[in-house]
Amino acid sequence: MKFRVERDVLADAVAWAARSLPVRPSSPVLAGLLIEADDDGLVLSTFDYETSARATLSAQVSDEGRALVSGRLLADICRSLPAKPVDMVLDGARVSLTCGSARFSLQTMPVEDYPTMPSMPQATGTVSSESFAHAVSQAVTAAGRDDMLPVLTGVRVEIDGGTISLLATDRFRLSQRELEWSPQSPDESAAALVPARVLGDTAKSLTAGGEVTIALSSGGTGEGLIGFEGAGPGGVRRTTTRLLDGEFPKVRSLFPNEKLTTARVDKASLIESVKRVALVAERNTAVQLQFADGVLTLDAGSGDEAQASESLPAEIDGEPITTGFNPQFLLDGLQAIDQPVVELAFTQASKPVVISGLVGADAAEGAGDTDSGFRYLLMPRRLLS
């Protein structure tokens, strides 16, 4: 194996492929990055039996061949190289890398012990890469991080014709994001539970091109696969991940059909107020929100401890209401909203609030609608007496 490639193209592809390498691999070869060179260029691959990544890029290949080297070490080396072409040569059990006056020699691992890469499922449809990345970043806001509840660490991806719905929950909050896409079949219908961390990293990393292809295996859940393909610097990026097993809770019904009290508030002002007031909130205590007479009053702290209070103008429709929320969860939802004005919709103080952004020409005056594609439902917290 012998080839020459541009330093920036190689460094970006190696970093992308190595990003999903396991921290504590069950086998040493799973920490490796597979380099394959042939007349078509280079293919850089990683696979840990759950998630695969494959980057193709152009290179001047003199001799075909394959080599398996430490992925993280190669990524660190490539990131430090000078801005000059990189030459790599396989010589026996070692790979030599030369870039300008810098020279490295890497020990290889047995290629024959590396697992077979999974194939991409058949394409299901395409979506704008920027829109998909943004939608996923909003949806994963509410995904769980407790590995003891693996189902809740996923994002449920529901495909219904030309619409994709993304749902995530950690039991205390729920996010829903819908976006349009171009399915292969107009009556396409499928559902998959995708690990939130993988989905978030993948969507964010595939924005170099205009579109992302989504490929969902017919297995649906459990043993199924989902694949994503998009353009990267110098070539194509493909990644697959195994779907999570288990039944995602039926969360759509948690969004109420009625609003007894609604409040419309400037988002930036509310975010800053929550941050300030939360400074005196003890761990696991709520920030109180009182909506009455065109004013939102935020309070935190109690008794002999530090206290804080701040008021904001709000357009309130319905009965006055007092409730409280985990301040970080509240901030997570507010910061995921694009619009400058947010609506908080209540049924009663002890029930969840639905937070969404106002869109439309009159949103700044509170007269827009909330059809922004993203909704965030947040459970209230018990207030200290």
Task: Give whole-number Cα distances, 121 to 80, 88, 214, 240, in Å.
Answer: 36, 32, 9, 9
Mean pLDDT of 156-167: 96
pLDDT bin (cut points 50, 70, 90) of residue 361 is: very low
Mean pLDDT of 359-368: 54
Q: Kindly give, in sequence order, each residue whose CB lies less than 8 Å from that of residue 83, ignoring residues fewer than 6 positions away.
A: 7, 8
- Helix, strand or coil, per DSSP, at residue 333: helix
Q: What whole-number distance in Å separates Cα of residue 163 and Cα of residue 180?
A: 5
The pLDDT assigned to 282 comes to: 85
6-31 residues labelled b (16+ CB within 10 A) or e (exposed): bbebbbbbbbbbbbbbeeeeeeebbb
Q: Which helix (H) or strand (E) holds 198?
A: helix 196-205
Q: Tell me which residue of 370, 323, 380, 375 sits closest to 142, measured CA to CA.
A: 375
Structural tokens at position 114: 């590396």
Percent of the chain at pLDDT > 70 equals 94
The average confidence (pLDDT) of the chain is: 92
